[in-house]
Structure 1
Amino acid sequence: MWVLDDALIDPACSTLAHTLSPDERQRARAFRQERHRNGFMARRSLLRQLIGGYLACAPESLRFSITSFGKPALQWPPAAGFAFSVSHTEGMALLAFAWDCRIGVDVERRIDGLDLACIGRGVFSPPEEEMVDRAGADPAAVLFSLWTRKEALLKALDAGLSGAPSAYTTEDDPLRGESRWRATHNGTAIAGWTCLDLILGPEVSAALAVSLEAPSVILHHCSLSPPAFRSTCPRAHAGGVPDQC
């Protein structure tokens, strides 16, 4: 898994924007604010660069489609078993990759002054709503933690918030260790998965869901030094393998 922060956005646009497709350039032009436009271009060009490294192909040759839930999906080249997930928030983006499993990642920067009673309505399950109500002095931290968990899980399941997200419940799993969580669907445990809270800073909540019991999760920070990609990523691993971005 890779972390992209704001400091790399402008250099990435200058260095890698030529790899974008015409439709991606058109999408970028639709953003009114330059920082949003550059953020999209940096995320998409780095996504191309990383996938090109994993699949040993030119980044500009990749073709993407968009799923019904708005997720980018690799259309070409064919890569059976290769999965990825992307999420971004103010100042940060996460790009996660895996072989032979499902994977979902979400990151959110915490915002003060939100109407917490309304945010999770229709998304959180009754037990999750109770967790927010019992949060005490810092309900926003609990809410954002639950939100990123739910988003990561639904992305991995190829579902979306427009479906029935409240049918899923996420909760701490202390028996598996700190920062681990588990999920149920209509009260039935979703077995064989690894679900993690990602520690990325005091004002950021992030979560990862992988349909493997013991994946190797490796966190990398992107840079624009000369790429040293390996041509493939070890199968049954969730996480980045290339040494540099």
Structure 2
Amino acid sequence: MHPTAMQNGQLFFDTYLGKNSNCVVVEIGAQNVNGSLREVAPPGARYIGVDFVVGKGVDVVLTDPYCLPFESESVDVVVSSSCLEHSEMFWLSFTECLRILKPDGLLFINVPSNGAFHRYPVDCWRFYPDAGSALVTWAKRQGMNPVLLESFITPQHQDVWNDFLAVFVKDERFLHQYPNRMIKAVEKFENGKVSGSDQIYSFTQFPEDIRRLNDAVQRLAAMEGREAVVNDVLEKLLTFTKGQAS
């Protein structure tokens, strides 16, 4: 888990649960690789780590990645960070997470919006700004009624990753229980969405990787341009000097 993913998880818990929550939290993709969201969860939470392999931080090992061994409507919060890009059919994982949530339960997803190809054991997807809304559309076709509370993309920080963050409540009837939004607490974000609005906040057409590459090309072009000017001046000066000498 890269550092910004841990920070994003901390932000989710602080915004939606607070320090004193004693809810049941299930993490999908819980193996501790350079950290785990368990470390930043509320101290009183009953935390259950789920993964596909045995490892540190894993309490339950799945035999079927699209079938969670929990009763329907039995869990308060499901979190998943840096995991769904490795799910071949992440939309099935999404609805299975919704199934186990209580009607007022929350689902937090942190997935890369860009970044290096990394197979654990496969690497299938990157998430763009409309991904959260698309998942809601999919779930409604399955007879569910979730709401996207918010989603946005975070900037790079000492690494190559831009993260897509999204928070859902399982049933629209409980939208009013969650007035706070992470998007109000972050210093920088791009292409944000919040429930109740069709607006895209801090709209940015090009991802940060493309903008950085374009800036580098522009700087290189400027440097090459200055070099050409300097060479032209030196050539003219040399010609003038030769003329004076003769």
Q: TM-score range by the shorter chain?
A: 0.3 to 0.5
Relative to the length of structure 2, the TM-score reads 0.32
Flag the structure with larger Rg.
Answer: 2
Relative to the length of structure 1, the TM-score reads 0.32
Q: Which has the higher contact order (CA 8 A, sep 6+)?
A: 1
